[in-house]
């Protein structure tokens, strides 16, 4: 068979950083001890799986999964004008975000293209935490820095000092509550896209440290993301794993993270998002507050990408053969689109994909063909997400 190391790999960042020296997560030793397989993601050696992609995927849908996503970039924005600055620098109206809340946002270029998608947390009136993709850390820091000119704000890239652990799945809250060294107030009251401050005390009775506990995630399940100092990450990881195992918690790698987010219809930079794509094409028009007087990309967003610009759709097929990123979407003999992500859905049991297609072929119910390495696989345009957790 073809060398599996070079087979198409949807979990790899599409713009691999020219990393001469691989970067390691503060949890690397934990992953090695758990027998993980590793993959390069934007220059970081990250766990791709511990046991089985499918078992890890199902654990998140039915119980809980533990993810190390410490490669993601944490960037603090500090200053009295931080809110006004982000209103100008990003697509959303972050000045209106309440302390204790989070918001999904985008950073655009002057042409209205997407530099990255972001989660923005409001820490205080004068401090925000911007979380960007690992592959876009430099681009986001550079764009934010370039936009600070007259705002009097400071940009502090805290990625190297910050670990990020996600606990995702219907049992995620129980896992946190069962971890004796971890304390967070009233997690059951914490709303989706809100955060609170928890504390973690190491096993040797070390001084307790603060943990930013956010009810956010990238799996389509309930769950939490925990931001903390790298020095304490391994102890928290082990404590969560020990407390969570009786509840079905499994460590999960990037392979399952990719199939989970795909089922949930969540975009991935380099696949559904990029600088040649305007938000409206990716179904993210609502994220851009065009009513703002000024923001980077406003003129281009108002002009729009053009009537013939391709739009993102969900595609569902029968059988087990999945279309992958880059494959053509056909209507008759005409190429009308391209797959951006695709897999056999572990939860649904049939192939699913996201694709950019010509607007004439984007209506749900439209029948198209996917060119899977020379074979035509019929597929139907379906609304996103493919999978939605029970309320």
Partner 1 sequence: MSAVPADLQYTAEHEWVRLEGDVATVGITQYAADALGDVVYVDLPKVGAAVTSGSIVGEVESTKSVGELYAPLNGEVVEANDAVVDAPETINSDPYGDGWLLKVRVAETPALLSADEYRALIGE
> What tokens does 43 get?
């220059």
DSSP string, 151-209: T--EEEE-GGGEEEEEEESTTHHHHHHT-TTEE-TTGGGPPTTBEEEEEE--TT-PPPE
What is the nearest approach in angstroms of partner 1 to the Cβ of residue 54?
A: 4
Q: Which of residues 110-139 bind partner 1 (CB under 8 A)?
A: none
CB closer to partner 1 out of 58 and 147: 58
CB nearer to partner 1: pick between 38 and 85:
38
Please state the length of the chain: 391
Which is nearer to partner 1, 159 or 219 (by Cβ)? 219
Footprint (CB under 8 A) of partner 1, residues 258-297: 258-259
Shortest CB 324 distance to partner 1, Å: 6
Q: Is 54 in the site for partner 1 (CB under 8 A)?
A: yes
Residues 314, 381 contacting (CB under 8 angstroms)? yes
Count CA atoms within 13 Å of residue 99 on its CB side.
7
Cβ neighbours of 291 (radius 10 Å): 6
Q: Which of 66, 255, 266, 339 is in the footprint of partner 1 by CB under 8 A?
A: 255
* Least spacing, CB of residue 362 vs partner 1, in Å: 26
Beta carbon of residue 9, minimum distance to partner 1 (angstroms, whole number): 5
Q: How far is the CB of 259 from partner 1 (least distance, A)?
A: 6
* Closer residue to partner 1 (CB): 132 or 379: 379
Q: Binding to partner 1 by residue 103, rule CB under 8 A? A: no
Structural tokens at position 55 = 């078992």
Beta-bridge partner residues of 23? 44
195 vs 386, beta carbon nearer partner 1 = 386
Question: Could you say which DSSP state residue 324 is in?
Answer: -
| Alpha-carbon span 257 to 68, nearest angstrom | 10
* Residue 371: strand, helix, or coil: strand
- The rounded distance, in Å, linking the Cα atoms of 151 and 147 is 8
In angstroms, what is the minimal distance from the CB of 252 to partner 1? 13
Distance in Å, CB of 284 to partner 1, minimum: 25
Q: Cα–Cα distance between 388 and 306 in angstroms, integer? A: 31
The vertex-104 CA angle with 95 and 226, nearest 5°, equals: 100
Q: Does the protein bind partner 1 through residue 7 (CB under 8 A)?
A: yes
Binding residues among 351-380 for partner 1 as defined by CB under 8 A: 373
- C-alpha to C-alpha distance for 290 and 272, rounded to whole angstroms: 22
* Residue 317-356 contact track with partner 1, rule CB under 8 A, x = bound: ---xxx-x------------------xx-x----------
How far is 58 from 250, CA to CA, in rounded Å? 10
Cα 209 from Cα 202, distance rounded (Å): 9
For residue 322, what are the β-bridge partners? none
Please, which of residues 23-42 interact with partner 1 by CB under 8 A?
A: 37
Residue of 4, 18, 332, 365 interacting with partner 1 (CB under 8 A): 4
Please tell me the distance from the alpha carbon of residue 149 to that of residue 200, in angstroms, as a whole number: 38
Q: Site for partner 1 (CB under 8 A): which residue of 40, 53, 116, 369?
A: 53
Residue with structure tokens 């392979």?
A: 255
Number of residues in contact with partner 1 under rule CB under 8 A = 28
> Is the Cβ of residue 112 or residue 265 nearer to partner 1 in the bound state?
265
Taking CB under 8 A as the rule, which mask of x and - marks residues 214-253 in contact with partner 1?
Answer: ----------------------------------------
Binding residue for partner 1, selected from 13, 48, 143, 296, defined by CB under 8 A: 48
Q: What share of the chain is helix, strand, coil (3-state, %, to 5)?
A: 25, 35, 40
* Residues lying near partner 1 in the complex (CB under 8 A): 1-5, 7-11, 37, 48-49, 52-54, 57, 255, 258-259, 320-322, 324, 343-344, 346, 373
């Amino acid at each position: 068979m073809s060398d599996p190391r070079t087979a198409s790999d949807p979990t790899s960042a599409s713009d691999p950083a020219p990393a001469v020296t691989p970067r390691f997560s503060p949890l690397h030793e934990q992953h090695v001890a758990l027998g993980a397989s590793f993959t390069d993601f934007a220059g970081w050696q990250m766990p791709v799986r511990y046991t089985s992609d499918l078992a890890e995927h199902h654990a998140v849908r039915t119980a809980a999964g533990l993810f190390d996503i410490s490669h993601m970039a944490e960037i603090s924005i500090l200053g009295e004008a931080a809110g006004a600055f982000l209103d100008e620098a990003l697509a959303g109206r972050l000045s209106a975000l309440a302390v204790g809340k989070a918001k999904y946002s985008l950073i655009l270029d002057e042409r209205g293209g997407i530099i990255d998608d972001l989660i923005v947390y409001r820490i205080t009136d004068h401090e925000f935490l911007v979380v960007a993709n690992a592959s876009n850390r430099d681009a986001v820091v550079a764009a934010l820095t370039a936009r600070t000119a007259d705002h009097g704000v400071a940009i502090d890239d805290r990625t190297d000092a910050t670990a990020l652990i996600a606990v995702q799945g219907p049992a995620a809250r129980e896992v946190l509550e069962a971890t004796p060294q971890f304390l967070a107030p009233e997690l059951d009251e914490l709303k989706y896209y809100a955060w609170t401050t928890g504390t973690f005390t190491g096993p040797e009775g070390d001084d307790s440290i603060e943990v930013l506990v956010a009810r956010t995630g990238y799996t389509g399940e309930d769950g939490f993301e925990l931001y903390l100092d790298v020095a304490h990450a391994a102890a928290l990881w082990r404590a969560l794993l020990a407390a969570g195992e009786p509840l079905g918690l499994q460590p999960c790698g990037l392979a399952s993270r990719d199939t989970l987010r795909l089922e949930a219809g969540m975009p991935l930079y380099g696949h559904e998002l990029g600088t040649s794509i305007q938000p409206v094409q990716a179904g993210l028009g609502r994220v851009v507050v065009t009513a703002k007087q000024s923001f980077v990309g406003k003129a281009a967003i108002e002009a729009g990408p053009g009537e013939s610009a391709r739009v993102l759709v969900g595609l569902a097929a029968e059988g087990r053969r999945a279309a992958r990123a880059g494959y053509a979407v056909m209507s008759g003999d005409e190429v009308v689109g391209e797959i951006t992500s695709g897999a056999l859905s572990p939860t649904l049991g049939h192939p699913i994909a996201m694709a950019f297609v010509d607007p004439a072929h984007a209506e749900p119910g439209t029948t198209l063909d996917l060119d899977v390495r020379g074979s035509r696989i019929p597929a139907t345009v379906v609304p996103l997400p493919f999978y939605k957790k029970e309320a």
